[in-house]
Structure 1
Amino acid sequence: MARGRLDFYYEFASTYSYLAAARIGPLAEAAGVEVTYVPFLLGPIFAAQGYSTSPFNLYPEKGRHMWRDLERLAAHYGLPPIVRPATFPANGLLAARVATALNDASRPGFTKALFLREFAEGQDISDPAVIRQVLAGLGHFCDAPIEAAQSQANKDRLRAQTERAQAAGVFGAPSFVTPDGELFWGNDRLELALDHAVRGA
């Protein structure tokens, strides 16, 4: 029985969301925390902050450090070496829509597998063929989730999730929000967020 709950807000274009998605499952299970995976779009939130693209692109020195930091952390966590996608940030709209359309049981596996395609294999996650391959690898019939993802109801749901993230104070990804409204930002705050979720249950 879960001892706490945590909302995991992530964006498929986010490098540090990749690290969090790779780690959160076993850590949450060990802590007895039930995690809700909430894909959202950083674009509207960045636009509200006055950013036209990722801050890692706007500030080149910060971007260079981020990629090196990502390489070090991937090695530290025992993840595959980082392979940079040709386009950064990626267009994660289709990926987010598909993740939103999937049920709660399927969403974590899809999320982790697609992030691996993006940052461990350098693949273009905006390519429907990549999405289809990931779905097929997880045992899904590809057409149904993609068709559901493009429905107006699902588009509205993703938009609502992005608005919900913004209302919760989310300004970057990954972010973790506990039921009492406490916000934790960044892969390096995952353990602290899980601990708070347990103590606040």
Structure 2
Amino acid sequence: MARQPTLEFWYEFASTYSYLAAARIEGLAATAGVAVRWRPFLLGPIFASQGWTSSPFNLYPAKGRNMWRDMEREAARCGLPPVRRPDPFPQNSLSATRAAILGQDQDWLVPFSKAVFESCFAHGRSIAEPAAVVEILNGLGLDGTQQLKAAASEANKTKLRVVGEEARSRGIYGAPTFLTDDGELFWGNDRLEQALAWAAGERPGDMR
């Protein structure tokens, strides 16, 4: 029996389009026969290495205005609640990402990730404060205080830094990013279908 292909889903909790991808990826992947590996990471250090001090949607106001309108359209098209912009944007996602790294091999990673995205972009709530992350973890039936304490350990902080270096070394420069088994990189929510098709074995336009 052939091994099921896998698509790595690299996402950042402060990323608007990662939110859309997180809402869509499971259903689309199941239809395509592709397994998904959820890979939380921090995009801020990668932006900083490019000389950006904030999201490009803030650095380029016209781009930002269009992005929020596009988010409204896409959320409606996908049957999601109306998008609510958190203040400030982008949110500081460090505590949430540390928790996700702690849970990267646990069955609560995906529901936790979805809950963080929904809190941020469906409800417009802050995800920056540790208390907000504890509340989300508690809502999943976990001991949020204990989980966040473990997430702040030096060992888990090191894991997060290693993940960041892996992202950089594999050419990731934005979120969401999708990586196939053969290393093909697709960037953006609007490339999710193409990434899944490639992972499933379709190779349209492959000239290599």
Q: One-letter code of the match for 2:108? A: S
Counterpart in the other structure of 1:129: 131
Q: Deviations over 1:121-168 (max 9, x none)?
A: 010001222212211221112122111110111111111111111111
Gaps of 5+ in 2: 203-208
Gaps of 5+ in 1: none
Give yes or no for the alignment of 1:157 onto 2:167: no
Counterpart in the other structure of 2:168: 166
Which of the numbers 186, 189, 193 marks the counterpart of 2:188? 186
Q: Secondary structure at the match of 2:46?
A: helix
| Rg larger in structure | 2
Instruction: Give the C-alpha shift of residue 2 in structure 1.
Output: 6.2
Instruction: State the Cα RMSD in Å.
Output: 1.3
**Are the aligned partners of 1:16 and 1:174 in contact in 2 as well (CA < 8 Å)?**
yes
Q: Identity across aligned pairs (percent)?
A: 55
Which of the numbers 130, 143, 146 marks the counterpart of 2:145? 143
Q: Deviations over 1:30-75 (max 9, x none)?
A: 2221111111111111111111111000000000000000010000
Q: Secondary structure at the match of 1:145?
A: helix
CA distance in structure 2 between the aligned counterparts of 1:133 and 1:144, rounded to whole angstroms: 12
TM superposition score normalised by structure 2:
0.92
Counterpart in the other structure of 2:21: 20
4+ residue runs over 2 A deviation:
none
CA distance in structure 1 between the aligned counterparts of 2:154 and 2:37, rounded to whole angstroms: 22
Counterpart in the other structure of 2:205: none
